[in-house]
């Protein structure tokens, strides 16, 4: 729903001013929302499509079952899109959250691998030290 308002315009180059009328549209910025949605069949994708078709402000959407990705464009709030799709019963996350979660898991694996390698290196150094002690005793 547009909000009508007045604004005061001043032209400093000419030293004049005037009262102007303008229409402001609340949240008129087009938004692109990308979701990760667990869809296992065409029925799942159809439920998501129906939910998005009913949503006010949605201009277009793309449902990619293979990628488990739903892209929505329009005058929408990201949280409202997430909530509408979640109501279909499908596991739904913001795509960025899914990507970040994957990156965190990969980083955790790398840290674990580094720690394991450091532990092995310490064991090898300790074993080398014991070997050197045995040589000195003999």
Higher pLDDT, 8 or 105: 105
For 11-73, the DSSP string reads: ETTTTEEEEEEEEEETT-S-EEEEEEE---SHHHHHHHHHHHHHSTTEEEEEEETTTTEEEEE
Cα–Cα distances (Å) from 25 to 30, 69, 80, in that order, read: 12, 30, 19
Options 3.30.70.100, 3.40.50.460, 1.10.10.10, 3.40.50.620; CATH of 31-95:
3.30.70.100
Q: What pLDDT score does 110 carry?
A: 73
Mean pLDDT taken over the chain: 76
Q: Which helix (H) or strand (E) holds 6?
A: strand 2-11
pTM of the model: 0.52
Domain boundaries along the sequence of the chain: 31-95
> Do 30 and 75 meet the contact criterion of CB atoms below 8 Å apart?
yes
How confident is the model over 69-98, as pLDDT tens digits?
Answer: 999 999 999 999 999 999 999 999 998 865
């Amino acid at each position: 729903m547009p909000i009508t308002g007045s604004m005061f315009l001043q032209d400093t180059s000419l030293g004049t001013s005037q009262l102007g009328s303008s229409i402001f549209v609340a949240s008129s910025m087009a938004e692109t929302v990308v979701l990760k949605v667990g869809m296992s069949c065409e029925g799942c994708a159809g439920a998501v499509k129906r939910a998005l078709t009913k949503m006010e402000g949605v201009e277009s959407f793309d449902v990619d079952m293979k990628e488990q990705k739903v892209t929505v464009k329009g005058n929408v709030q990201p949280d409202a899109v997430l909530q509408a799709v979640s109501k279909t019963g499908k596991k739904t996350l913001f795509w960025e959250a899914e990507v970040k979660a994957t990156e965190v898991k990969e980083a955790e694996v790398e840290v674990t691998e580094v720690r394991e390698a450091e532990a092995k290196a310490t064991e090898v150094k300790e074993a080398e030290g014991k070997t050197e002690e045995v040589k000195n005793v003999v």
